[in-house]
Amino acid sequence: MESNGTRLQDQVASALSRRRVLQVLGAAAAVPLVSSMAACGGNPGGSSGGDDTALRFLYLGDATQQKAFNKLFKSFEKSHPTITLKPTGLASGTWAKFASTVSTQIAGGKIPDSMQVATEGQALFASKDLLEPLDSYMKKDKKYVDDYYGAIDSNLKKWTDKFGSTDDHTYYMPGGYNPVVMYLNTDVFKKAGATIPDKDWTWDEFLDAGKKIKKKTGAYIMAAGYAFSFVDIMPWLLTNGASTLNDDWTKAVYNSPEAVEAAEFIRGIVEAKLSPKPGGEFDAADQMKKGKLATLGGGRWPTLDMRRLGIVDKVKIVNWPHKKRKGSPIGWDAWPMFKESKNKDDVWKLIKYLMSTDASKYFATVGGTNVPARDDVAHSQDFLKDAPEGSELLPEAVSFGTPIPSPPRGGEMDKPITEAWQKAILGHSSAKSALDKANEELSKLL
């Protein structure tokens, strides 16, 4: 039993390590990706020393938004007075550490009733026979579920069904998500006389803007990186028709000509000194405020930095520059029910609440770090107020985005992916040689 639990812990931690922390492109400092929340009391799992009637919910988070998220939980309890909710935010910092902590608890017999599961862990948790199928609950509340599915982008349901299930059952209800877009400092562009794109632009236009900005202002066009593959690598691959794995996550394609070309393009950016040297200390958001950085990449989360720095009105969001097509990696949250829960009916009530318009409005305003699943809320003033111009492109990106490749051993794959990109863009190896070697390692892991 102990060895099985240990293997589960290793596998879960590995599978979730791809989706790192909330960070801006090139920045050394980081904060959690989806919900920066803290422990809100309660036992973190299991019945040992706790109340079997309490509903235990685990999520990733630290102390920065404890008070804010307590409002969401208290709102749920107010509408469900017979349910005692014990949410616990694990201040893990990264999805890998979060998963390691959760899996340690599970291995020790402390199993939650429900939890927040990022894209990278959905297939793995479902494959370990830990989760209760939601089918019967969905059938019972068919009208409510149909309304929710009708209110969210159809891709979220399709991707959750495809990648979050190992059989014909439904184990997750999809929640908020993050694509990757580009945030522009419009003052820097204007000072350099560089064209500010409406919403779409090409690699060549991006490069041309970078050269003008460097010459006229001395600012960098971007902070190239390699450690955070969700932002540093995947957008460049996808916008050139490439990826790390094929659409079904069954074959490694990291060394395709298009992927090599993408790495060589970023190498050119680095060589031309249009980016600070990757790997060093560089607070992208702070440098953007100072006018020393023209763009940074991210999902919804950089908006919080823009607010904190007081530069929302100087920033515009546009789609990632493309060569062959528009592209964006997509990661999303999902909510399951654990098979060993003694409170399954209450878990379903919590999941239903998280699907509600009220909860979605919360994520649009107070939550702030992802795009709420409901389209009407994502396009409402709840989401768009006090946000950069072009924020409507965030929910639009899910229509053409690509799920971040996340097979069960995806965490192990992150190392060869990021190390190869590092060698390629720093010139330590040719892009083709680096990606060829990485592709061999990825193939073995598949």
Question: What is the largest distance, in Å, between two alpha-carbon atoms of the chain?
Answer: 65
The whole domain housing 149 covers 2-177+332-394
Give strand pairing partners of 89.
Answer: 59
User: Does residue 280 form part of some domain?
Assistant: yes
pLDDT of 8 strictly over 70: no
pLDDT tens per residue, range 279-318: 888 899 999 999 999 999 999 989 989 999 999 999 999 9
Judgement on whether residues 114 and 171 belong to the same structural domain of the protein: yes
User: Does residue 399 form part of some domain?
Assistant: no
Decide which of 48 and 260 is more confident.
260
Judgement on whether residues 145 and 287 belong to the same structural domain of the protein: no
Residue 95 has what pLDDT?
66
Q: What is the average pLDDT across 37-48?
A: 33
User: Does residue 111 form part of some domain?
Assistant: yes
Judgement on whether residues 131 and 6 belong to the same structural domain of the protein: yes
How many domains is the chain built from?
Answer: 2
Tokens of 6: 């240990």
Judgement on whether residues 99 and 112 belong to the same structural domain of the protein: yes
Judgement on whether residues 294 and 347 belong to the same structural domain of the protein: no
Residue 339 has what pLDDT?
95
User: Does residue 84 form part of some domain?
Assistant: yes
User: Does residue 401 form part of some domain?
Assistant: no
Q: Please say which residue of 372, 394, 416 terminates a domain.
A: 394
User: Does residue 400 form part of some domain?
Assistant: no
Give the side-chain half-sphere CA count within 13 A for 384: 13
| Percentage above 70 pLDDT, the chain | 85
pLDDT of 47 strictly over 50: no
Residue 51 has what pLDDT?
59
> Is 326 in contact with 315 (CB distance < 8 Å)?
no
Residue 89 has what pLDDT?
84
Query: Predicted confidence band at 18 (pLDDT cuts at 50, 70, 90)?
Result: very low
Residue 127 has what pLDDT?
83
Q: Which of 277, 177, 180, 166 is nearest to 228 (CA)?
A: 180
pLDDT of 29 strictly over 60: no
User: Does residue 155 form part of some domain?
Assistant: yes
pLDDT of 93 strictly over 70: no
Judgement on whether residues 88 and 161 belong to the same structural domain of the protein: yes
SS (H, E, C) 33-76: CCCCCCCCCCCCCCCCCCCCCCEEEEEECCHHHHHHHHHHHHHH
> Is 57 in contact with 112 (CB distance < 8 Å)?
yes
Query: Predicted confidence band at 68 (pLDDT cuts at 50, 70, 90)?
Result: low
Residue 96 has what pLDDT?
61
Judgement on whether residues 383 and 415 belong to the same structural domain of the protein: no
Judgement on whether residues 35 and 103 belong to the same structural domain of the protein: yes
Average of per-residue pLDDT values in the chain: 86
Judgement on whether residues 130 and 154 belong to the same structural domain of the protein: yes
DSSP 282-324: --HHHHHHTTSB-EEEESSTHHHHHHHHT-GGGEEEEPPPBSS
Judgement on whether residues 140 and 251 belong to the same structural domain of the protein: no
User: Does residue 229 form part of some domain?
Assistant: yes
The helix, strand and coil proportions of the chain, stated in percent and rounded to the nearest 5, come to 45, 15, 40
Q: What is the average pLDDT across 85-100?
A: 77
Q: What is the average pLDDT across 158-183?
A: 94
Residue 217 has what pLDDT?
98
Decide which of 104 and 155 is more confident.
155
Judgement on whether residues 168 and 88 belong to the same structural domain of the protein: yes
Give strand pairing partners of 249.
Answer: none
Residue 30 has what pLDDT?
31
Whole-number Å distance between alpha carbons of 309 and 97: 29
pLDDT tens per residue, range 404-435: 998 878 878 999 999 999 999 999 999 999 99
- CA-angle at 153, arms to 147 and 155, nearest 5°: 120
Q: What's the CATH number where 99 sits? A: 3.40.190.10
Q: What is the average pLDDT across 92-121?
A: 82
Q: What is the average pLDDT across 244-258?
A: 97
Residue 40 has what pLDDT?
32
pLDDT tens per residue, range 190-218: 999 999 999 999 999 999 999 999 999 99
Judgement on whether residues 75 and 169 belong to the same structural domain of the protein: yes
Q: What is the pTM of this model?
A: 0.86
